[in-house]
Chain A
Amino acid sequence: MRKLHQLITACALGAITLTGSAFAADTAKELTGKQIAFDRSKGNCLACHAMPTVPDAESPGLIGPPLIAMSARYPDKAKLRAQIWDATVANPSSSMIPFGKNGVLTEAEIDKVADFIYGL
């Protein structure tokens, strides 16, 4: 199953959002995409990324680029999701955590985070 996801994501097909949401819809029921992105034990995206358009995105780290104008820069949302799922596909020496590949976030959580980031 995991292998399959890996292949699909590596090819960055739109289909992943569909297969992904088959997972664990209930485990992440309570948290919104923003909460998952902010939570230090979940996405902790702020450890590395500023979010200039989000007023309460406080004291961000500077390791990754600021997340801004994402829908313009990633017209294909699946590409954005693939970056979150495994950043080492696009850049093998990436410092970014492979959230999906290493199971740091569930597929459903990644969907929500991708939606949230897409709106920035």
Chain B
Amino acid sequence: MKQQIIMKLLTGMAGLGMVLGVATAHASPEQDKQDLIKYYSTKYPNVKLEDYVYGALAFDPDSKAQYDAIMEFPPFDSQIDAGRKMWETPFKNGKTYADCLPNGGKMIAGNYPMFDETKGKVVTLEDVVNDCRVANGEAPFKLSDPKTIGVLSAYMRTLSDGMIMNVKVQSPKAMAAYEDGKRTFFRRTGQLNFACATCHVQNAGTRLRSELLSPAVGQAVHWPVFRGGENLVTLQGRYSGCFKMIRAVPPAEDSTVMNDLEYFHSAMSNGLPMKASVFRK
């Protein structure tokens, strides 16, 4: 039954409109997440839910063992250190990031993206950092720039290590943004005609050539990642990469489309623990 719903969502615009019509009335983010988990766990009863945070590694013990070995001495430590220096360096006015972020910036990453009722839109943790800079008379970073906000956020997320992902969708406007992100996730696009869901729902746990595909649940908890050990990739940078893979023009990073996608996508990891930066091949 649930499987059918997901399949319907995957069948493209005509089916999608209909199913979403129903979904808007009934499906909460929690229900959507449970539907996905049911879909995966029916196919892969031996993979534990808590292991979904390891993505494709959860389906491949050998790669997971390699990953564990690399993570004992993470090759990206110096970048986390650089991020810490950025975090600790006061603005020209003497204030710091900790002064203007909720809870001093600790154990907050799992609350983002958040629907900002005043602004009437989804804001990411990176947006909030930039707001903080601007409020203190500093120039905003170019969002998703690996060298600035990327490095800083890699450190910031160590301050939320272990926090449970807790993205909330409460008002009707927030729900509309969530639905927008969900639509992007399930809509086929690009010359190759894939939806995110084609790979990360329908074929999760399966090999695309030599790449094992990770499930959508658990994908949002460990960003940025360091690919090949040192190459910092932000979450929206990864979305862009996947859009390009299917020969679609990626939406601009930090656009409403991307932020709504991140909102939906992150809510699918609700209940799972955040993990500061990880290695990816």
Report which A residues bind B (CB closer than 8 A). Answer: 44, 46-48, 59-63, 88, 92-93, 95, 97-98, 102-104
Contacts and interface: CB of A to CB of B under 8 A. Distances in A.
Contact of B207 (A44, A62, A103): A62
B175 interface: no
- Count chain A CB atoms within 10 A of each CB in B15, B194, B198 and give the residue with the most: B198
A59 B210 contact: yes
B202 A95 contact: yes
A88 B12 contact: yes
A95 B203 contact: yes
Given A92-B11, A92-B15, A93-B10, A63 B208 contact: yes
29 contacts: A46-B209, A47-B208, A47-B209, A48-B208, A48-B209, A59-B209, A60-B209, A61-B206, A61-B207, A61-B208, A61-B209, A63-B203, A63-B206, A88-B12, A88-B193, A92-B11, A92-B15, A93-B7, A93-B202, A95-B198, A95-B199, A95-B202, A95-B203, A97-B194, A98-B193, A102-B192, A102-B193, A103-B191, A104-B191
Nearest to A86: B193
- Name the 4 nearest CB pairs between A and B, nearest first: A47-B209, A92-B11, A93-B10, A61-B207
A19 to B, nearest CB: 22
Given A59-B209, A63-B207, 7 more contacts: A60-B209, A61-B207, A61-B210, A62-B207, A63-B208, A93-B202, A102-B193
Contacts, number: 45
A33 to B, nearest CB: 19
B11 A93 contact: yes
Contacts of A95: 194, 198-199, 202-203
Contacts of B210: 59, 61
Contacts of B7: 93
Contacts of B12: 88, 92
A104 B190 CA distance: 11
Contacts of B11: 92-93
Nearest to B9: A93
B36 to A, nearest CB: 16
B43 to A, nearest CB: 13
Interface centre among B10, B206, B207, B209 (most CB of A within 10 A): B209
A48 B15 CA distance: 25
A46 B206 CA distance: 14
Contacts of B207: 61-63
Nearest to B188: A88
Nearest to B211: A61
Contacts of A88: 12, 193
Nearest to A44: B209
B17 to A, nearest CB: 14
A113 B193 CA distance: 20
Interface in B200-218: 202-203, 206-211
Nearest to A103: B191
Contacts of B10: 93
